[in-house]
Amino acid sequence: MNPISAPRGTRDVYPPESARWNRLEADCRDIAQRFGYGEIRTPIFEATELFRRGVGETTDIVEKEMYTFLDKAGRSMTLRPELTAGVVRALLEHKLLAQGAQRLYYIGPFFRYERPQAGRYRQAHQFGVECFGVPGAEADVEVIQIAAMLIARYGIGEAALNINSVGDPVCRPRYREALLAHFRPHAAELSTDSQRRLERNPLRILDSKDPQDASFVATAPTMIEHLCDDCRAHFDALRRYLDALGLTYEVNPRIVRGLDYYTRTVFEFVSSAIGSQGTVCGGGRYDGLVAELGGPPTPGVGFGLGLERFLMVVEKVAGEHLPPRRGIQAIALGEAARERLIAIVGALRERSAEPAFADWQDRKLTAHFKTADRNNARWAVILGDQELAQDQIVLRDLLAREDRQLPLVASAAEVARLLVEATG
Ligand code: ATP
Ligand code: MG
């Protein structure tokens, strides 16, 4: 029989790589809680209608990328292609907005039917935050600082912050007209995707990665030039706050979120280290989203940060740092030693948070040391017939390559205590 492979565009994560994921997720949680954000967990599938309304009919995601299926009762369901829509659905369902501003973060998988390539998967993972109920640019800069702190912690500051404003329902219609006037005369020369966007959603042409559109995009009028007074004031405040926090940025008029409920601030952190899939984090303000999903008009701002891409950039820029050696490899040579060591290792695991590795197979000492290296163990504890005869146990420092003897007393708990003391 042929073995079964994982679906295209998905990947398995296993040791030692999974340790990097554990660390990154722990850092996301640590930073989010410093800012007073609590975790929200929502289902991996939702009613398809939620994403049609909450992501937008004219987006690539809804037009081409959703995993949609009928469940056994004939309801249309979709594997979430992003997490914000589900978060808003949950906020409304549990009436959480009535309690005032909500600061939430999430970590989890999302699904998009895309052409798999480096940094682009069909199941990928995001860390994201959402701040609801704060209209001012203080909230924009707050969420930006969360992403910036994570980036700084991993030494990948080359991932640069790009900001823009997409205006609001007052000024964007005027800008839309200006864009139409710019692109219409060249309609026939645009990519097919952009020709389709032209009447439906011309802002999205600015987002085009098609080289055919590049020269027309480069000369297009910018939203910044068309902002109304309120949007201008918001953008100026954002820039002041970023300066106050020492966060460097560039204004990039090409960054857009081409949906009506996106307002004012949009931003990305872009790395040049991993080629064309360099957007590690994308976010912005979506003051119209909650109302679009049937809730009370509520401002919101947040971001989604792709964990796969983040780790790719870390590996490329900061290099693969081997984590420090940790824990004890227990090595029993012979049946009698194994009997004694099982109790000692059991007691060690009760007493110490450091890993105790044990491979109870009958193998040569050198084979056990190889296992210890693979486990990245810091110490080895060795028990054989000779040690048993002398009531001793050998503790080997695997870094210094030095041995010392510890007394093998009758109580396993006491030996464990001595080991913890000697390795602490
Ligand atoms: P792109 O322009 O690269 O398609 P996007 O605008 O579709 O990105 P968002 O919807 O803003 O991306 O998602 C936020 C982040 O999630 C992205 O910045 C990226 O890091 C990550 N991401 C998006 N799609 C994928 C994918 N298919 N595989 C891996 N990561 C992804
Ligand atoms: Mg995309």
Residue 122 has pLDDT above 80, yes or no: yes
Structure tokens at 229: 């007074």
Angle formed at CA 35 by CA 308 and CA 88, multiple of 5 degrees: 70
Looking at residue 409, its pLDDT comes to 97
Measured in Å, residue 60 CA sits from the centre of ligand 2 at 7
At residue 320, the pLDDT reads 66
Residue 7 has pLDDT above 70, yes or no: yes
Distances from the Cα of 15 to the Cα of 29, 36, 125, 188, 375, angstroms: 21, 32, 18, 52, 10
Domains of the chain: 17-171+227-318 (3.30.930.10), 328-423 (3.40.50.800)
Can you give the length of the chain in residues? 424
Query: Which of 16-20, 147-151, 293-297, 306-310 shows the lowest per-residue confidence on average (mean pLDDT)?
Result: 16-20
Give me the pLDDT at residue 321, please.
Answer: 66
Q: Per the structure block, which two tokens stand in for 70?
A: 């009928």
Given a cut of 80, is residue 363 above it in pLDDT? yes
Q: Which atom of ligand 1 is nearest to the CA of 60?
A: 7
Task: Give 402's contacts (C-beta < 8 A, 6+ positions apart).
Answer: 396
Q: Is the pLDDT of residue 3 over 80?
A: yes
pLDDT confidence bin for 368, thresholds 50/70/90: very high
Identify which has the larger pLDDT, 16 or 151.
151
Beta bridge partners of 383: 332
* Residue bearing the CA closest to ligand 1, atom 21: 306
Does position 258 have pLDDT exceeding 80, yes or no? no
Q: Which residues contact 264 (CB under 8 A, 6 or more apart)?
A: 140, 165, 166, 167, 168, 231, 234, 235, 284, 285, 287
Distance 294 CA to ligand 1 centre (A): 26
Tens of pLDDT, residues 34-44 = 999 999 999 99
Q: Long-range CB contacts (< 8 A, 24+ apart) of 308-311?
A: 308/11, 308/119, 308/121, 308/124, 308/125, 309/119, 309/271, 309/274, 309/277, 309/278, 309/279, 309/280, 310/24, 310/150, 310/154, 310/156, 310/280, 310/281, 311/20, 311/21, 311/24
* Contacts for 360 with CB less than 8 Å, ≥ 6 apart: 332, 338, 342
| Interatomic CA distance for residues 5 and 12, integer angstroms | 11
Ligand 2 centroid – CA 120 distance (Å): 8
**Atom number, ligand 1, closest to the C-alpha of residue 277:** 3
The pLDDT, as a whole number, for residue 16 is: 87
Rounded distance from Cα 55 to ligand 1 centre (Å) = 13
Flag the least confident range among 199-203, 240-244, 396-400: 199-203
Rounded CA-CA distance 38/249 in Å is 27
* Percent of the chain's residues with pLDDT above 90: 89
53 pLDDT more than 90:
yes
Tell me the pLDDT tens digit for each residue of 79-115. 999 999 999 999 999 999 999 999 999 999 999 999 9
SS3 string, 310-353, reads HHHHHHHHHCCCCCCCCCEEEEECCHHHHHHHHHHHHHHHHHCC
